[in-house]
Amino acid sequence: MANKLQSDNPEQLIYENDLLKLTVLGGVRLEGLDRMRTTLKIELNNSVRPPVRHNLDLYNDTQLEKFIRKCAERLEIGTSIISASLSELTEILENYRLQKIKEQEETLKPKFRKLNLGEIEEAESFLKSNDLLTKTNELIGKSGVIGEEINRLLMYIIFTSRKREQLLHIVSLGSSGTGKTHLQEKVGELIPEEERVSITTLSENAFYYFGKQELKHKVILIEDLDGAENALYPLRELQTKKRIVKTIASKNNKGETKTKYLVVEGPVCVAGCTTKEHIYEDNANRSFLLYLDESQEQDEKIMQYQRQISSGEINFYEQKELQEFLQNTQRILKPITVRNPFANKLNLPQSVFKPRRTNNHYLQFIEAITFYYQFQRERQFDKETGEEYIETTLEDISNANMLLKEVLLRKSDELTGSCRNYLESLKTYLKAQKKKQFTALEIRRQLRLPKTTQWRYHKQLNDSCLIKTIVQKGKQTNRFELTNEKEYKELEAQIQTVLEDCLKDIERSTVPKRSKTKMERLTKTKTAS
């Protein structure tokens, strides 16, 4: 007797022997191994008799016996033949189901790529190179991330922190169409695929149904935080407590209701994009806030890149190679303890809001840079515990200061990011026009802003005493005037002074005065331009 299961179409499994043809319509469910519910179609080979169709559980003897008698009567064939055929089909379907479950489990397992010796040596050589951050930034740019020189490197280092116990998080802020999602996606592609999870939308309980270890030490990329509001609480718990637990009621095989615990462990590195800074304040407090460059210069860079794509000048194969190379450098980074011997001498500017969390972010970011430089740092061992560790250097602190200057400046600003961008654009316009006063309509037309948006900005600016209203007698239109054009520059100078003074104090007490790093020169050149 030739026994065979035709499974080319999983929705129509066909088993055929010398006498009968049995078709499982709709396939079999993989979950619930204690039952085998099927919809069967049984017909005689080479017969004009109509087939028998029925829905039953092959593990239910009562249903099975009734079905066998029904088939014997309709097809006019012995019950023993039908019984034997159904028994063979049941055994074949059991094996088929177990095989599919195993295949499904293998598919869900993360695919870890094993590097060959040449790839390891090439990645190690790069991580040992001088001016590592500068060279990394150049490769990020060549891989397809246009402009955003500071933001892209900042995001890359934060994603690198996923291998540590104290992970960092980032929220990208900017108006619609500025490329928040694109930047996050392109930098995310530089992280190995098995170590990142990209999510478009999230339901309220979505995080609780991941595997217990499925998210551990991974980067979670949320395309739009605006569509994930209901899932933000468990997300915050994963960020802070590195573990979430949910209890649900479920029934066992005996029909008894039992309490079941859903546990998902972290830590995780979370990145998300939004246009609404205040709505996600609780999440923003746990994260670095990255404000995208909305300048005309950045617009021109992106448009020029789009033109190059259209004209066929972009080598996408080379970009893919660079992405894979940076992924390989990430793969060879190994978890190791980082100690900062200068931590007690580092202070934040007093102007920073929420200094407790910001101070922790600042110290952890310095350690993340040291972690990235692990192939250039001497391995040391604790004399008491024997723990292996590497130490932060002055270069790490200097590079962190350069990258975090804008972040700390925004953390010290009482205005929202969008309102600050409006005010700085307003200052630029007034300076170019050599004006002191302006009307709301004039600025709306120049900056192409909706009226309600400008009202919201002016309310913030009035509350902060950064603009004043000039009432004109006999005229319905009021004029406005800035109260302090240099307030942002003064705040920036204050933060820069505090960071530089800390570094100089450490340098004086440890090593001779050193020359500026290439990263510092690059940043200052960009700022000046």
The CATH number of the domain holding residue 142 is 3.40.50.300
Alpha carbon distance 336, 279 (integer Å):
36
Tell me the three state secondary structure of residue 409.
Answer: helix
One-letter amino acid for residue 140 of the chain: I
Give the strand pairing for 380-381 and 437-438.
unpaired
In this structure, what are the phi and psi dihedrals at residue 97, rounded to the nearest 5 degrees? -65, -45
Q: How far apart are CA 122 and CA 139, in angstroms?
A: 14
CB 62 within 8 A of CB 69: no
Sheet holding 380-381, edge to edge: 337-339, 388-391, 380-381
Of 314, 329, 348, the last residue of a domain is 314
Residues 6+ apart with CB under 8 A from 205: 231, 234, 246
| Euclidean distance between CA atoms 53 and 22, whole angstroms | 10
Residues 6+ apart with CB under 8 A from 232: 225, 280, 282, 283
Domain boundary among 314, 335, 364: 314
Q: How many CB atoms lie within 10 A of CB 3?
A: 13
Is residue 147 domain-shared with residue 277, that is, in the same domain?
A: yes
Reading the block at residue 519, the tokens are 């990263």
Q: Is 20:2 a contact under the CB 8 Å cutoff?
A: no
407 burial level (CB within 10 Å; 0-12, 13-18, 19+)? buried
* Domain enclosing residue 164, as ranges: 138-314
Residue with tokens 């998080």: 169
Tell me, yes or no, whether 364 lies in a domain.
no
Looking at the structure, tell me whether residues 19 and 68 fall in a common domain.
Answer: yes
Residue 356 domain-assigned (yes or no): no
Tens digit of each residue's pLDDT, the chain (529 residues)? 345 788 888 899 998 888 888 999 988 888 878 888 999 999 988 888 889 999 999 999 899 999 899 988 888 888 898 899 899 989 999 899 998 888 887 776 666 778 889 999 999 999 999 999 999 999 999 999 988 899 999 999 999 999 998 889 888 887 777 788 889 999 999 999 989 888 887 777 888 888 888 888 899 898 877 766 777 778 788 888 888 888 888 776 666 788 888 888 888 898 888 877 665 566 667 888 888 888 888 889 889 999 999 999 989 999 999 999 999 999 999 999 999 999 888 888 877 777 788 888 889 999 999 999 999 999 999 888 889 999 999 999 999 999 988 888 888 888 888 888 889 889 999 999 898 889 989 999 988 888 898 999 999 999 989 999 888 776 777 889 899 888 888 888 888 888 888 888 888 877 554 445 555 555 555 555 4
Question: What distance in Å separates the CA atoms of residue 274 and residue 284, rounded to the nearest whole number?
Answer: 10
Q: Which residues contact 453 (CB under 8 A, 6 or more apart)?
A: none
The answer to the question of residue 516 being in a domain is no
* Residue 529 pLDDT: 46
| Single-letter residue type at 406 | E
Note if the bond before 192 is cis, omega within 30 degrees. no
Q: Side by side, which strands form the sheet with 12-16?
A: 4-6, 12-16, 20-25, 37-44, 52-57
Q: Would you call 90 helix, strand, or coil by DSSP?
A: helix
Question: Which of 108, 128, 155 marks a domain boundary?
Answer: 108
- Please indicate, yes or no, whether residues 102 and 234 belong to a single structural domain of this protein: no
Is 220 found in the same domain as 104? no
Instruction: Of 221, 214, 219, give the one whose Cα is nearest residue 198.
Output: 221
301 and 184, same structural domain?
A: yes
Residues in the chain: 529
Question: Over 417-462, what HEC string results?
Answer: HHHHHHHHHHHHHHHHHCCCEECHHHHHHHHCCCHHHHHHHHHHHH
Q: Are residues 82 and 163 in the same domain?
A: no
pTM of the model: 0.77
Same domain, 65 and 188: no
Does residue 325 form part of some domain? no
Measuring CA to CA, how many Å separate 113 from each of 195, 198, 330?
11, 19, 12
Regarding whether 201 and 55 lie in a shared domain, the answer is no
CB 480 within 8 A of CB 458: yes
Give the count of domains, the chain: 3
The per-residue DSSP string of 474-487 comes to T-SS-EEEES-TTH
Give the tokens for residue 416. 């929202």
Residues 166 and 269 in one domain: yes
With respect to residue 268, please indicate whether it lies within any of the assigned structural domains. Answer: yes
The CATH number of the domain holding residue 424 is: 1.10.10.10
The answer to the question of residue 407 being in a domain is: no
d(CA 206, CA 195): 19
Query: Are 156 and 94 part of one and the same domain?
Result: no
Residue 375 domain-assigned?
no
Instruction: Please indicate, yes or no, whether residues 149 and 99 belong to a single structural domain of this protein.
Output: no
C-alpha 377, offset from chain centre: 29
Both 187 and 292 in one domain: the answer is yes
Structural domain contains residue 504:
no
Burial status of residue 182 (CB atoms within 10 A of its CB: 0-12, 13-18, 19 or more): middle
User: What pLDDT does 152 receive?
Assistant: 93
For residue 116, what are the contacts with CB-CB under 8 A and spacing of at least 6? Answer: none
